């Protein structure tokens, strides 16, 4: 069985560093054995930091990180010496990664930009040494603070693919073939259902040096909202795409029903998905004459743009790029 290099969810145990204890120390010199407190502060415990990396597209590199344990801060010492802080751990993740607490399910961080850094789990503060507590009325404090504990727990990192356009369709609708001719991506293509089990991303070159990103997502089936087939794993990625391109093959027995089933699954999973820009492409249209095209047009919703395309003969592909570009800029204008 082929082992997937695409990992979109991992579970890890994380523990940030404890702060170092403050020092309870008194300066003693040859001529002044009671020179006063000089205990330094403890160092900060190490943070665990998430950092976005645009060159990563999977969480595969973290698959074997079962435990992420950050360094503790060092304790303070005499002569007002502050302890060394723990060395922060930086975890690089692909753009679109969400960090959650496993127990509560609460979202704790989200990485959307290259180079973006978020302190995910803070290290404990170092305790203050006794020198920090000296006052005019208490010139020889006999106490110092312990360092603050770090935080720990089981965490989940979850990837939602970032792309401008998401390809939606039943298994074997021709999504992978379309992606391969629109972009430089080379997805696995075969004439059987569920060829695509992981998202494939590709950059579509448009006019005047412009480009946009398109994602071939795993095929959807009835019941995906309940987790059937690839279910939630597929639907999670689609939340990121502002424009959804529904691919319906020309040889479908019922084009209208196929589109309605796809939309229904999206709505059941998350009704907000219906606010995205929809476009319908009828694939394998090299099999159709004008009469059959007109019959299919009657089945399609009037309020949603549609186009007939063929990835084999490259029919309608430039027009499809124009429609997608217009939809993306329309969406950007509305949200911007």
Domain residues of the chain, as ranges? 9-159, 165-335
* CATH classification code of 9-159: 2.70.210.12
Q: How far apart are CA 333 and CA 336, in angstroms?
A: 5
Give the distance from CA 249 to its chain's centroid.
Answer: 31
DSSP symbol at 272 = G
Structure tokens at 205: 């070159």
What pLDDT does 194 receive? Answer: 36
Residue 273 contacts residue 225 (beta carbons within 8 Å): no
Give the pLDDT score at 332.
53
CA neighbor of 115 nearest in space, from 202, 49, 46: 49
The 10s digit of each residue's pLDDT in 17-44 is: 999 999 998 887 766 666 788 889 999 9
Rounded to the nearest integer, the mean pLDDT of the chain is 81
Q: What is the pLDDT of residues 105-154, one digit of tens each?
A: 899 999 989 999 999 999 999 999 998 898 888 888 888 999 999 999 99
pLDDT for 78 equals: 86
pLDDT digit string, tens, across residues 157-177: 988 776 788 888 887 777 778
The reply to whether 9-159 and 165-335 are identical in fold is: no
* 135 vs 49, more confident: 49
Residues 38-54, mean pLDDT to the nearest whole number: 93
Higher local confidence (pLDDT), 98 or 172:
98
CB-CB contact of 22 with 130 (8 Å):
yes
* Predicted local confidence at residue 198, as pLDDT: 56
Strands 48-52, 117-121: parallel, antiparallel or unpaired by DSSP? antiparallel
Q: pTM of the prediction?
A: 0.63
State the pLDDT at residue 164: 84
CATH topology (fold) of 165-335: Rossmann fold (3.40.50)
| pLDDT for position 237 | 66
The three-state secondary structure class of 225 is: helix
Contacts (Cβ under 8 Å, ≥6 apart) of 303: none
Q: 332, 54, 335: which is closest to 210 by C-alpha?
A: 332
Residue with more model confidence, 3 or 55: 55
- Count of H-run helices and E-run strands, the chain: 5, 16
3-class secondary-structure state, position 110:
strand
pLDDT band at 190 (very low <50, low <70, confident <90, very high): very low
pLDDT at 217 over 80: no
């Amino acid at each position: 069985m082929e082992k997937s290099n695409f990992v979109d969810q991992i579970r890890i145990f994380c523990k940030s560093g404890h702060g170092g204890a403050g020092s309870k120390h008194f300066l003693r010199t040859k001529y002044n054995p009671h020179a006063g407190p000089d205990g330094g502060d403890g160092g900060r415990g190490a943070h665990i930091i998430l950092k976005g990396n645009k060159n990563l597209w999977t969480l595969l590199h973290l698959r074997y990180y079962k435990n992420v344990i950050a360094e503790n801060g060092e304790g303070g010492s005499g002569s007002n010496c502050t302890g060394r802080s723990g060395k922060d751990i930086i975890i690089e993740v692909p753009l679109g990664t969400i960090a959650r607490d496993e127990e509560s399910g609460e979202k704790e961080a989200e990485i959307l930009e290259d180079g973006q850094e978020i302190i995910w789990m803070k290290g404990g503060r170092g305790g203050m040494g006794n020198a920090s507590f000296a006052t005019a009325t208490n010139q020889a404090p006999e106490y110092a603070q312990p360092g603050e504990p770090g935080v720990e727990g089981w965490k989940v990192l979850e990837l939602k693919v970032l792309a401008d356009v998401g390809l939606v369709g039943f298994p074997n609708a021709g999504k992978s073939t379309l992606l391969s001719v629109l972009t430089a991506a080379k997805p696995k293509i075969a004439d059987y259902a569920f060829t695509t089990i992981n998202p494939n991303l590709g950059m579509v070159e448009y006019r005047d040096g412009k480009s946009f990103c398109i994602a071939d997502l795993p095929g959807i089936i009835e019941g995906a909202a309940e987790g059937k087939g690839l279910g939630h794993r597929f639907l999670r990625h689609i939340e990121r795409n502002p424009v959804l391109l529904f691919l319906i093959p020309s040889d479908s027995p019922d084009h209208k029903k196929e589109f309605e089933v796809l939309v229904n699954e999206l709505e059941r999973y998350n009704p907000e998905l219906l606010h995205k820009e929809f476009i319908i492409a009828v694939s394998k249209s090299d099999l159709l004459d004008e009469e059959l095209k007109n019959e299919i047009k009657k089945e399609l919703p009037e309020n949603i743009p549609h186009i007939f395309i063929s990835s084999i003969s490259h029919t309608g592909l430039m027009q499809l790029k124009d429609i997608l570009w217009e939809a993306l800029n329309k969406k950007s204008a509305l949200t911007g």
